[in-house]
């Protein structure tokens, strides 16, 4: 299999290089960079072993342009590109190979919702209906047939994996209160004052709270679909209130979601629902006896999920869901490779790590 990586020199693209370098079914990697085309891959990323050059033979170990990559007729393209720019750069590949886009350009099928989240119309509205949302454990069957896969954001991945089965089973009522903590790498590899070491170290805080963060719309869209599957059209009256926080770590994401349980639903029901939903799925681990931590999933494609229930007045019970991922792996590059594996009929875990780094 020949794989193109567009946006190779960012964190997401660099991690894709590392994963695909040891993926047994990827025989050739074609690295693309608009700003560094012609340069040596090992100069751009000295962290790579020279062993990767075996898979870079088609470009002589160099970064190439989009046009050069398209001429090599790849089987799959990973786009680790900025939101609103990705679709235009991917033009030579649509309809010619499988495209897995890690930007937001195809995640929201409704143009009005997209414009609300990103401030303008979707760049390729004509392709929105063809894109499959790449939340791998939820949309597996659709991904198997898709030629355009919209890889979810890291915040929606960590938030939705514990929520979606419970919403679909009708176990949750009322609003969804989501608080998420993210490592700094979630902002990408860019120069920005608020991301400087002296600004972030020993410092944590919220930003874009409530309904103001653009990922809120992505999460709300999926919550509405899950409610509809439970026979509750719209969103069952539930709104997503999402507050992200930056914390002084490089990578890792921890999400706590607070919801009300439907009448009569117990912690035993919650556990049974989650375990049934993810039976046989190696990348989702249900941990009812403990609260997972980010270090458990460093450098893995796992999402570990825990929960806690408390009884309240009037027979109302509250559920606390805890989920952790590595935002660069399950939240980006790892899930993209997982989607490739599903799409090409490979074992889902091929080339991906199950065990956390020490």
Residue 37's Cβ-count burial label (10 Å; 0-12, 13-18, 19+) is middle
| φ/ψ of residue 178, rounded to 5 | -115, 125
| 7 within 8 A of 32, measured Cβ to Cβ | yes
Residue 79's Cβ-count burial label (10 Å; 0-12, 13-18, 19+) is buried
Mean pLDDT of 54-79: 97
Per-residue pLDDT at 235 exceeds 80: no
Judging by DSSP bridges, how do beta strands 28-32 and 2-6 pair with one another?
A: parallel
| 215 within 8 A of 153, measured Cβ to Cβ | yes
Q: What is the pLDDT of residue 167?
A: 94
Residues in Cβ contact with 212 at an 8 Å cutoff, skipping those fewer than 6 apart? none
Give percent above pLDDT 90 in the chain: 83
Q: Which two tokens stand for residue 175?
A: 């609003």
| φ/ψ of residue 244, rounded to 5 | -85, 155
Calculate the average pLDDT of the chain.
Answer: 92
Q: What is the pLDDT of residue 192?
A: 63
Catalytic residue among 154, 169, 273, 285: 154
CA distances from 331 to 5, 120, 146, 183, 352 (A): 17, 24, 20, 12, 13
Q: pLDDT-derived band of residue 311, with 50, 70 and 90 as boundaries?
A: confident
Domain layout of the chain by residue ranges:
2-130, 155-327
Residue 34's Cβ-count burial label (10 Å; 0-12, 13-18, 19+) is middle
| Fold match flag (2-130 vs 155-327) | no
Alpha carbon 133 to its chain centroid, in Å, reads 10
CATH homologous superfamily of 155-327 equals Dihydrodipicolinate Reductase; domain 2 (3.30.360.10)
CA distances from 198 to 188, 193, 250 (A): 17, 9, 14
Q: pLDDT-derived band of residue 153, with 50, 70 and 90 as boundaries?
A: very high
Per the DSSP assignment, residues forming a β-bridge with 32 are 6, 64
**129-133, 248-252, 289-293: least confident range:** 248-252
Q: How far apart are CA 21 and CA 17, in angstroms?
A: 6
Q: Which two tokens stand for residue 278?
A: 């993810």
CA distances from 263 to 201, 266, 292, 316 (A): 44, 9, 27, 7
Mean pLDDT of 157-161: 98
Per-residue pLDDT at 73 exceeds 60: yes
Q: What is the largest CA-CA distance in the chain?
A: 69
Q: Which two tokens stand for residue 106?
A: 């195809």
Taking Cα atoms as reference points, which of 21, 27, 59, 55 lies closest to residue 40? 59
Mean pLDDT of 86-91: 96
Q: What is the pLDDT of residue 141?
A: 98
Task: Indicate if 154 belongs to the active site.
Answer: yes
Per-residue pLDDT at 195 exceeds 70: no
Angle of CA points 204, 335, 231, to nearest 5°: 90
Mean pLDDT of 144-162: 97
Long-range contacts of 72-76 (CB under 8 A, 24+ apart): 72/2, 72/4, 72/30, 73/2, 73/97, 74/2, 74/3, 74/4, 74/30, 75/1, 75/2, 75/3, 75/344, 76/1, 76/2, 76/3, 76/4, 76/100, 76/340, 76/343, 76/344
Q: What is the pLDDT of residue 189?
A: 53
DSSP 1: -
Q: pLDDT-derived band of residue 112, with 50, 70 and 90 as boundaries?
A: very high
Taking Cα atoms as reference points, which of 18, 4, 1, 3 lies closest to residue 328? 18
Domain covering 2-130, topology = Rossmann fold (3.40.50)
Q: What is the pLDDT of residue 196?
A: 62
Judging by DSSP bridges, how do beta strands 76-79 and 132-133 pair with one another?
A: unpaired
Per-residue pLDDT at 178 exceeds 80: yes
Per-residue pLDDT at 280 exceeds 90: yes
Three-class secondary structure of residue 35 per DSSP? coil
pLDDT tens profile 12-39: 999 999 999 999 999 999 999 988 999 9
């Amino acid at each position: 299999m020949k794989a193109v990586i567009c946006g190779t020199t960012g964190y997401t693209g660099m991690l894709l290089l590392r994963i695909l370098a040891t993926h047994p079914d990827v025989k050739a990697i074609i690295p693309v960079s608009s700003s560094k085309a012609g340069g040596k891959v090992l100069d751009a990323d000295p962290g790579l072993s020279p062993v990767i050059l075996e898979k870079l033979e088609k470009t002589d170990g160099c970064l190439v342009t989009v046009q050069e990559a398209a001429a090599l007729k790849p089987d799959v393209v990973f786009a680790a590109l900025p939101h609103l720019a990705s679709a235009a750069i991917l033009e030579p590949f649509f309809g010619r190979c499988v495209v897995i886009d890690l930007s937001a350009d195809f995640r929201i099928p409704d143009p009005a919702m997209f414009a609300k989240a990103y401030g303008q119309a979707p760049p390729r509205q004509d392709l929105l209906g063809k894109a499959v949302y790449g939340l791998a454990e939820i949309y597996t069957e659709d991904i198997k047939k898709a030629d355009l896969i919209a890889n979810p954001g890291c915040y929606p991945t960590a938030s939705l994996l514990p929520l979606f089965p419970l919403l679909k089973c009708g176990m949750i009522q009322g609003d969804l209160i989501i608080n998420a903590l993210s490592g700094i790498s979630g902002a990408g590899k860019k120069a920005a004052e608020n991301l400087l070491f002296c600004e972030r170290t020993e410092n944590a805080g919220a930003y874009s709270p409530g309904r103001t963060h653009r990922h809120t719309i992505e999460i709300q869209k999926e919550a509405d679909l899950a409610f509809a599957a439970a026979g509750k059209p719209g969103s069952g009256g539930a709104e997503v209130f999402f507050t992200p926080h930056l914390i002084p770590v490089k990578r890792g994401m921890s999400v706590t979601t607070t919801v009300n349980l439907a009448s009569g639903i117990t912690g035993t029901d919650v556990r049974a629902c989650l375990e049934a939903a993810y039976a046989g799925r190696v990348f989702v681990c249900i941990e009812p006896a403990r609260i997972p931590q980010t270090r458990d999933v460093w450098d893995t494609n796992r999402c570990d999920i825990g929960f806690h229930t408390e009884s309240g007045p009037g027979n109302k019970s509250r559920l606390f869901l805890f989920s952790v991922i590595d935002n660069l792996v399950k939240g980006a590059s790892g899930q993209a490779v997982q989607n490739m594996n599903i799409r090409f009929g490979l074992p889902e875990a091929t080339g991906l790590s199950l065990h956390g780094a020490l």
